Amino acid sequence: MSFLIPFLAKVAIPTTRFCMYILFGTTTSIVWLLHFLRLDKLSEPKRMILKIFFWGAIITIPVFLVEFGGSCLILGGLNDACPIKERVISPFYISILYWFLIIAFVEETFKYLVVRGKVLKHNVFDEPVDAMIYMIIAALGFAALENVLYLLPPAERIFPFNELFARTILISFFRFVGATFLHALCSGLVGYFLAISICKAKKSGLTIMGLFIATLLHGLYNFSIMEFEEPLKFIFPIAILLGLAIFIAFGFKKLKKMKSTCVLPKK
């Protein structure tokens, strides 16, 4: 049976590393999830929480396909995998379109569609603050799988395990305080406008406004990190996260006071 040892070692090492990516990638989302769930006095059914978290993760697949197709259209020859090889837009406008439209708008829209399709007319949606809660749950599900994908090392690089472990911890930490938190906050903002739109019977206008603001801030966060020079590449993201965090705290307090005066969707 000793001949199996080399084979098992080859299988076990990649499996162990992939399990590590899943553990760290999902933990960053789960920590934020537990934090935000504490803000809801009427706790949501665990089954529905898991369902929306799962659907948030699943939509990374269509999001990736849409983003890949959109990036091919505007990036053209910059990406060898794209069939389109010509660019007709200047690099600056390409960057604007990519970060704001292809990335931010697509991701914020798909997260919203999860809640609209799976929660909005379900009987668990029984108070305005649920709009924020479930938008955040969907966002953190999305971020969990996105984190795992970001943790995967480049195919052409082979890291020693200790170096790979340090890399995983470092990336997980920065995504915990950055991208994962951003996803939750932007979706929470959309959830706030969604709840207000339901209470004021102006569904389309306010919800669209929420999606627009979330897209703008999400896009500016990514654009500033990738395109700005220091110190602006740090100042803008931090300011966006702090501003959104303050708004979300305000939003939770306001919606909790509205539960007796808001007419929710008919089941």
Q: Considering the domain boundaries, does residue 172 fall inside one?
A: yes
Number of other residues whose CB lies within 10 A of the CB of residue 158: 9
**Whole-number Å distance between alpha carbons of 240 and 98:** 19
Q: Considering the domain boundaries, does residue 202 fall inside one?
A: yes
**Whole-number Å distance between alpha carbons of 70 and 76:** 10
pLDDT score for 8: 32
pLDDT score for 10: 40
pLDDT score for 77: 43
Number of other residues whose CB lies within 10 A of the CB of residue 119: 23
Number of other residues whose CB lies within 10 A of the CB of residue 81: 7
Identify which has the larger pLDDT, 260 or 201.
201
pLDDT score for 13: 47
pLDDT tens track for 153-186: 775 566 677 888 888 899 999 999 999 999 999 9
Q: Considering the domain boundaries, does residue 209 fall inside one?
A: yes
Q: Considering the domain boundaries, does residue 20 fall inside one?
A: no
**Whole-number Å distance between alpha carbons of 118 and 50:** 12
Average pLDDT value for the chain: 84
| 129 has a pLDDT exceeding 70 | yes
Q: Considering the domain boundaries, does residue 207 fall inside one?
A: yes
Total-model pTM: 0.88
Q: Considering the domain boundaries, does residue 44 fall inside one?
A: no
Q: Give the range of the structural domain holding residue 119, as residue numbers without chain letter.
A: 50-256
What is the number of structural domains in the chain? 1
Amino acid (one-letter) located at 113: L
pLDDT tens track for 198-241: 887 656 689 999 999 999 999 999 999 998 888 988 999 999 99
CB 215 within 8 A of CB 108: yes
Average pLDDT over residues 134-156: 90
- Model confidence at 259, pLDDT cuts 50, 70, 90, reads low
pLDDT score for 71: 83
- Model confidence at 146, pLDDT cuts 50, 70, 90, reads very high
Q: Considering the domain boundaries, does residue 18 fall inside one?
A: no
pLDDT tens track for 29-74: 999 999 999 887 777 889 999 999 999 999 999 999 999 888 887 7
Q: Considering the domain boundaries, does residue 34 fall inside one?
A: no
Number of other residues whose CB lies within 10 A of the CB of residue 92: 9
